[in-house]
């Protein structure tokens, strides 16, 4: 396992700033885009984000701030 993977979850998330993520909310909706920034509560800013319902793009957002308590998971994408 890489050194990066053994960091604490919030540190690893912080390190991924300005990279691509897909977040899923408790309500099952997903947002895919660049994570401009994030804090320890998992509040996060996404830029150029797509909203997906069951895998289909339903909306586009230039810049959106998601309140952390709604987050189910954050998938870290490898692409920039």
**Nearest-angstrom CA–CA distance, 32 and 44:** 12
Q: Note the maximum CA span of the chain.
A: 37
Q: Does 36 bind a copy of itself (CB under 8 A)?
A: yes
Residue from the set 20, 50, 52, 64 that interacts with a copy of itself by CB under 8 A: 64
Would you count residue 47 as binding a copy of itself (CB under 8 A)? Answer: yes
> Is residue 57 close enough to count as binding a copy of itself by CB under 8 A?
no
User: Does 34 sit near a copy of itself (CB under 8 A)?
Assistant: yes
Length of the chain counted residue by residue: 80
Contact 33, 19 (CB under 8 A): no
Which residue in the set 54, 56, 78, 79 belongs to the binding site for a copy of itself (CB under 8 A)? 78
């Amino acid at each position: 396992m890489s050194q990066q993977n053994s960091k604490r979850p919030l540190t690893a998330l912080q390190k991924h700033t300005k990279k691509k993520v897909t977040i899923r909310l408790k309500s099952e909706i997903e947002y895919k885009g660049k994570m401009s920034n994030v804090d320890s509560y998992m509040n996060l800013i996404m830029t150029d984000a797509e909203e997906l319902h069951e895998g289909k793009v339903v909306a586009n957002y230039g810049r959106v701030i998601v309140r952390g308590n709604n987050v189910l998971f954050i998938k870290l994408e490898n692409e920039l």
